[in-house]
């Protein structure tokens, strides 16, 4: 019997991420990469973390920092998050918060909690690839979430067939991969749909703090709480992360939800990894408490200038027929090439001829459509590099489609 024949059926659905495979190629000299959606390491609050880790390892704290801990997460960090979420219009207590190892773990746990094989997850078309992969292990079907109100609850339910619709997943602020924001009306419409279908809403707030223009729109969980009074009556589950603001390497994220959801997720966490690393949570709490509020404006200025540079360079260099999004925040701009163009072929040619990397958009579509799309990230390159990279992209595009 072959090794693979022993694997569970879910294993056959797991595939290597196109993005991670690609990142392996990027160490060559002269490459400009708009591929990975990662923060610029020059912007990490390094001194603050050095200090925080040192404090956590002093005699007063090190027994706790190095010991097993509770699955819910480090108390003072959860308390900081209670205040932080209040600043975003969400009124919750520490009992509504679970600390996770990044928001990626939150997505895995939520897939585990909600999805039986054959159930339906409603997602954007395109949507965050890591969410597709996390949910896919639980063998669901994916259906397209329409945020324009054009599809009613009955149609979603009918399409779900034998299984049922369990949740809608979306990243309403500056989504990965499109950079787009869901407006207030569409957020309210989604809550109506969720009530009609009696499903959960998974709100991924990974990029929420990184807004460069325009007014903040309340999180979906805040809007639902306004309707229903208490977080305990809410079906929305908010996933947060320090990865895009403080550090992705420490793997600290969180979930905010009604207590029955958190209590069940705690059981899942106990079975999976007991708890997220205490030392990282303690350091994150200290850095968040002392510098989160001053760090964010700096990130907004820096990334905002990079977004502006990329938008201007696209105006200057893109041939006719290429369209792109104008995100108000986050890390991504999404390109749509003329029908029939292929983002993957473009990448191969671009790496070969002008040493430019980006991510072909198809991987972000659960049905493998979207061949003529491309994701560009502006977060990890300075403005001069962005201008040079987009000029290179213009060069290859003109030979491919011009």
Ligand X SMILES: Cc1ncc(COP(=O)(O)O)c(C=O)c1O
Count the neighbouring beta carbons within 10 Å of the beta carbon of residue 214.
9
**Out of 179, 253, 327, 361, the residue judged to bind ligand X by CB under 6 A:** 253
CB of 19 to ligand X, least distance (A): 9
- For the beta sheet containing 323-324, the strands, ordered from the edge strand earlier in sequence to the opposite edge, are 323-324, 332-336, 373-377, 359-360
> Please, which residues have CB within 8 angstroms of residue 62's CB and are 6 or more apart in sequence?
56
CA separation for the pair 141, 159 (Å, rounded): 10
CB of 359 to ligand X, least distance (A): 12
CA separation for the pair 40, 233 (Å, rounded): 39
* Nearer to ligand X (CB atom), residue 169 or residue 322: 169
Note whether 206 binds ligand X by CB under 6 A. Answer: yes
Span of 48-56, 101-109, 293-301, 313-321 interacting with ligand X by CB under 6 A = 101-109
CB of 307 to ligand X, least distance (A): 16
CB of 198 to ligand X, least distance (A): 25
Smallest CA-to-CA distance from 176 within 364, 12, 13, 335 is with 364
Note whether 128 binds ligand X by CB under 6 A. Answer: yes
CA distances to 114, 116, 140, 160, 365 from 163, in Å: 12, 8, 9, 6, 21
CB of 242 to ligand X, least distance (A): 7
CA separation for the pair 36, 371 (Å, rounded): 19
Show contacts with ligand X in window 159-178 (CB under 6 A): 171, 176
Query: Rounded to the nearest 5 degrees, what angle is found at the Cα of 227, between the Cα atoms of 222 and 230?
Result: 70
Token couple for 54? 């040192």
Note whether 380 binds ligand X by CB under 6 A. Answer: no
* Nearer to ligand X (CB atom), residue 238 or residue 397: 238
DSSP code at position 84: H
Q: Is the peptide bond before 357 cis (omega within 30 degrees of 0)?
A: no
- Counting residues that bind ligand X (by CB under 6 A) gives 14
Q: What is the DSSP string of 278-301?
A: HHHHHHHHHHHHHHHHHHHHHHHH
* Nearer to ligand X (CB atom), residue 322 or residue 359: 359
Note whether 103 binds ligand X by CB under 6 A. Answer: yes
Note whether 204 binds ligand X by CB under 6 A. Answer: yes
CB of 362 to ligand X, least distance (A): 17
CB of 219 to ligand X, least distance (A): 14
Binding mask 337-376 for ligand X (x = CB under 6 A): ----------------------------------------
Interacting residues toward ligand X by CB under 6 A: 37, 102-104, 128, 130, 171, 176, 204, 206, 241, 243, 248, 253
């Amino acid at each position: 019997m072959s090794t693979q024949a022993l694997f569970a059926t879910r294993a056959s659905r797991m595939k290597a991420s196109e993005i991670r495979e690609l990142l392996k190629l990027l160490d060559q000299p002269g490459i400009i990469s708009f591929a990975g959606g990662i923060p610029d390491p020059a912007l990490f609050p390094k001194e603050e973390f050095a200090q925080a880790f040192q404090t956590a390892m002093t005699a007063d704290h090190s027994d706790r920092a190095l010991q097993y801990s509770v699955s819910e997460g480090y108390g003072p960090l959860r308390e900081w998050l209670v205040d932080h979420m209040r600043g975003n219009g969400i009124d919750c207590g520490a009992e509504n918060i679970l600390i996770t190892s990044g928001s990626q773990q939150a997505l895995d746990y939520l897939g585990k909690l909600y999805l039986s094989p054959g159930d339906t997850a409603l997602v954007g078309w395109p949507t965050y690839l890591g969410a597709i992969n996390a949910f896919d292990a639980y063998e669901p079907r994916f259906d397209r979430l329409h945020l324009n109100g054009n599809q009613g609850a009955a149609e979603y339910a009918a399409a779900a067939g034998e299984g049922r619709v369990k949740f809608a997943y979306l990243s309403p602020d500056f989504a990965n991969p499109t950079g787009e924001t869901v407006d207030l009306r569409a957020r309210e419409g989604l809550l109506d749909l969720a009530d009609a279908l009696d499903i959960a809403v998974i709100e991924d707030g990974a990029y929420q703090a990184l807004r460069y223009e325009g007014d903040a729109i309340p999180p979906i969980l805040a809007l639902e709480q306004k309707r229903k009074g208490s977080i305990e009556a809410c079906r929305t589950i908010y996933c947060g992360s320090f990865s895009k603001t403080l550090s992705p390497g420490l793997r600290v994220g969180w979930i905010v939800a009604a207590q029955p959801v958190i209590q069940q997720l705690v059981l899942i966490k106990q079975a999976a990894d007991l708890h997220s690393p205490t030392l990282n949570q303690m350091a994150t709490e200290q850095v968040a408490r002392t510098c989160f509020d001053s760090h964010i404006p700096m990130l907004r200025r820096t990334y905002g200038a990079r977004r502006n540079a990329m938008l201007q360079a696209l105006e200057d260099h893109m041939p006719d027929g290429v369209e792109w999004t104008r995100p108000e925040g986050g890390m991504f701009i999404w390109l749509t090439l003329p029908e029939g163009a292929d983002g993957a072929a473009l990448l191969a040619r671009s790496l070969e001829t002008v040493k430019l990397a980006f991510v072909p958009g198809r991987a972000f579509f659960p049905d493998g459509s979207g061949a003529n799309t491309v994701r560009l990230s502006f977060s990890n390159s300075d403005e001069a590099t962005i201008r040079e990279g987009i000029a290179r992209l213009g060069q290859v595009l003109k030979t491919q489609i011009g």
